Structure 1
Amino acid sequence: MWDALGVEVPIVQAPMAGVSSPALAAAVSNAGGLGSIGIGATDAAGARAAIAELRSRTDRAFNVNLFVHGPAKADPARETAWLEWLSPVFAEFGAEPPKALRTIYKSFADDEEMLAMLVQTKPRVVSFHFGVPSLDAIAALKRAGATLLATATSLDEARKIEAAGIDAIVAQGIEAGGHRGVFDLSVPDDGLGTIALTRLLVQNTKLPIIAAGGIMDGAGVAAVLSLGASAAQLGTAFIACPETAADEAYRAALTGPGAYHTRLTSLISGRPARALANRFTKLHESVADRLPPDYPIAYDAGKALHFAAKGKGEYGFGAQWAGQGAPLARAIPAAELVATLVRELNAAPSGPARSR
């Protein structure tokens, strides 16, 4: 699969929505890996512009990632109660919460314009998070020449991905930063780690497995390859690279004490996601049994709070997604990081250079 895409090293840069950028993805792809951009939080026009910019920077394969979550269920009473709970925090920054909350972006499952744009622009790799799209959408993307990836957090999800005709599975361990890729929030999440999940999927599916979660250096890449993975996906490892869209506060937090205490939280967006410990994650101490609105409705409140706080110089309410390996992040250019990862991979006891 990788040879056909022209990918030279088994390194995939995670498509971190809001952080990954065309410049980052191009740098990774040009260095021999598979760069990625997240387009799930934008519309078809915004995605088209991002793809065009990326293509202006590289002629190599890259990945575009989409969110395939179920429809958000509006619940005015629950949303009002959530805003009332957050109201004192808004007041701390001289602001009021929104009067009402919106569904701030579509699921790919309901976005025909996005599908049409992808069929027309023909990115060589398309990936899915939170589920898989319809068989018709999958067939259309395959006819357009796309190789398809989808995230699984369990063997059951991996089997659904395989049955849908997807080409490879991203095995997302509980260590990973950003949103958990669970398909159905009503089903208990076993929280499988990257090692256990990778082995389960290698042994019980026929698809290539891309291991993700807590991988920060070449030794980690070597470890998952030794488990049978075809490649490793790294996200947090790239956040500090100068090509990302992370702001200075996010970069500073990545080197601060919160990096050692990442937390899974649903407070920011309405779905579980791993973030650096900050002012937002600390709200868990007072949330009690309150439930946030559905994803991505809750994100409307989270973004408004971050905007209000940032205006007063407080950056601890940002969505500072990061995995458990955050303290190992390196602030070097993406191409240099890929080259470093390859050197470390080859030097690892189980790396390619040692196995020849």
Structure 2
Amino acid sequence: MTLLETIGVTLPIVQAPMAGVSTPELAAAVCNAGALGSISVAATTTDGARGMIEDARKHTAKPFNVNVFAHTPTPRDPEREIAWLASLAPLFERFGAEPPLVLRPIYKSFVEDDAMLAMLLELRPAVVSFHFGLPGSGKVSALKAAGCTLIATATNLAEGLAAKRAGMDAIVAQGWEAGGHRGIFHPDAPDDRLGTMALTRLLALRSGLPVIAAGGIMDGQGIRAVLDLGAIAAQLGTAFIACPESSADEAYRQALAGPGAAHTLITEAISGRPARSLPNRFTQWGGKVGLPHPGYPMTYDAGKALIAAAKAAGEDGYAAQWAGQGAMLSRAMPAADLVRILSHELAQVENSVS
């Protein structure tokens, strides 16, 4: 019996906790279909997180994953922040707006958020997962004592071994192909950019933890491939963006179905951390700006302000449209139907092999 089966998940499928895209309705639909649904509370307050968890529980009695960001807070650099805002000023002017006067660390890391911990200990979600790093031993011990299964993202073996030492129950092997933010612990350190296949096999053999593979997986054949490499499940994010239960707006959905899906790229210009995105005007600007950004999440404060200004002016080309390298294989359908199709495709592959 795999780790997920012990908590009541019958299919080796995990819906990625996509901050800003995954919703309680999406997570619940995935859970009710037999997979593990996820919500991310990293971009909200403790009260907002409580509301999301309670909302998900209104729609499902199944276990689901609650994701938080565990990044090391970035030191402030006023000179970089001022220069970054100045570089963005012409874009804001184009949309009849002004950039923020100052930048703020808009997302509080779980490593310093005791209020979020207290709320999780009270509500006790079945699974809690961490992105960008690991919380301290006190938080880990408290969550485990509350009965939570703990999962961390790893992009290399060193991070996987650190997750093992920290007391994680499983790791998400996030390959370079994955959409959204890289889970790399130290964004300024060299990134080996390991692909999903190589990373999954490496962690399955050497981390000492159950592995959930992520990155570029869009169908049952992809799920079967990572299971054959030793993973206990596959995590899919981009595959669920086009589901009606996600909060992706119409422009995002059209971009996902457009030619840009064949050309996803990594950018730091939107948030201050490397993230795989559909190409658009924001990523194009980021490739030319030629300035060091002020770090995460201060860069995202500026990015969100620009996105809002552009959208208010009817321009959708400055949105954060995260997507992985498998984006061209996206299918628009209700989440429960997608889970059933993925399960059917997986079964077909297994039957053909047997």
- Aligned equivalents of 2:207 and 2:263: distance in 1? 34
Structure 1 residue 331 displacement after superposition: 0.6
Would you say the 8 A contact 2:187–2:274 is kept in 1? Answer: no
Counterpart in 1 of 2:308?
307
- Alignment match of 2:221 (pick from 219, 222, 229): 219
* Partner-residue secondary structure (3-state), 1:169: strand
- Aligned equivalents of 2:69 and 2:317: distance in 1? 25
Structure 1 residue 287 displacement after superposition: 1.3
Counterpart in 2 of 1:268?
270
Counterpart in 2 of 1:278?
280
Q: Give percent identity, aligned residues only.
A: 61
Counterpart in 2 of 1:204?
206
Amino acid at match of 2:27: A
Deviations 1:129-169 (A, max 9, x none): 01110111001001111000000000000000001110001
* Partner-residue secondary structure (3-state), 2:172: strand
- Segments of 4+ moved more than 2 angstroms: 353-356
**Normalised by the size of structure 2, how large is the TM-score?**
0.98
Counterpart in 2 of 1:165?
167
- Aligned equivalents of 2:309 and 2:29: distance in 1? 34
Amino acid at match of 1:18: G
Counterpart in 1 of 2:190?
188
* Partner-residue secondary structure (3-state), 2:152: strand
- Aligned equivalents of 1:15 and 1:244: distance in 2? 11
Structure 1 residue 286 displacement after superposition: 2.1
Deviations 1:93-113 (A, max 9, x none): 111111111110200000000
Structure 1 residue 4 displacement after superposition: 1.6
- Aligned equivalents of 1:256 and 1:186: distance in 2? 32
- Aligned equivalents of 1:131 and 1:235: distance in 2? 19
Counterpart in 1 of 2:251?
249
* Partner-residue secondary structure (3-state), 1:185: coil
Structure 1 residue 259 displacement after superposition: 1.1
- Aligned equivalents of 1:281 and 1:52: distance in 2? 36
Amino acid at match of 1:137: K
Counterpart in 2 of 1:235?
237
Q: Are positions 1:28 and 2:57 aligned together?
A: no
Counterpart in 2 of 1:97?
99
Amino acid at match of 2:57: R
The alignment yields a C-alpha RMSD, in angstroms, of: 0.9
Contiguous gaps of at least 5 residues in structure 2: none
- How many corresponding residue pairs? 352
- Aligned equivalents of 2:187 and 2:237: distance in 1? 23
Structure 1 residue 285 displacement after superposition: 3.9
Structure 1 residue 355 displacement after superposition: 5.2
Q: Are positions 1:131 and 2:121 aligned together?
A: no
Structure 1 residue 338 displacement after superposition: 0.2
Structure 1 residue 330 displacement after superposition: 0.6
Counterpart in 2 of 1:174?
176
Structure 1 residue 346 displacement after superposition: 1.0
Counterpart in 2 of 1:317?
318
Contiguous gaps of at least 5 residues in structure 1: none
The equivalences for 1:142-153 within 5 A come to 142-153=144-155
- Aligned equivalents of 1:166 and 1:7: distance in 2? 18
Counterpart in 1 of 2:327?
326
Structure 1 residue 326 displacement after superposition: 0.6
- Aligned equivalents of 1:78 and 1:326: distance in 2? 34
- Aligned equivalents of 2:60 and 2:7: distance in 1? 13
